[in-house]
Amino acid sequence: MNNKYINLLATNGTSIIELRSDNIEITCVQDALDMMAECNYRGSNKIILNIKNIIPEFFDLKTGIAGEILQKFSNYGVYLAITGSFEKFTSKSLRSFILESNKQKQVVFVESVRDAITMLSE
């Protein structure tokens, strides 16, 4: 993961790490923990990740993968913005999960990096 991170400076001076990769980078809890550790090393507890960088099973809540991974973000006080188009997901439970997550603001689901920076800078 070394050269895939780009450090961003948001509008109010908040340090945010954006992961840029064309590959699936998060396949399990350990991948998420490794990413959080790398970002912490770089001085940030705020991460932007594209939807394409997470295994598709994450978005099937029945697998439990989302819950396991996102619980680690909560436990370690790391904020996450997942960017992309979520319209393709028709599951009512996933849509409710996304709405509730966006209200809590620990993990947010937004369309763009610009939206992510705005949410993580608040």
Question: How confident is the model at residue 95, as a pLDDT?
Answer: 93
Edge-to-edge order in the sheet of strand 46-50: 5-9, 15-19, 46-50, 79-83, 107-110
Checking if the pLDDT of 2 tops 70, the result is no
- Mean pLDDT for the chain overall: 91
Q: Quick: pLDDT tens for 19-47.
A: 999 899 999 999 999 999 999 988 899 99
Structural domains of the chain, with CATH: 2-121 (3.30.750)
Pairwise pLDDT comparison (114 vs 5), residue with the higher score: 114
CA distances to 56, 58, 60, 102 from 1, rounded to whole Å, are 20, 20, 25, 27
CB 81 within 8 A of CB 114: no
- Tell me the C-alpha distance between 35 and 30, whole Å: 9
Token pair belonging to 57:
């099973």
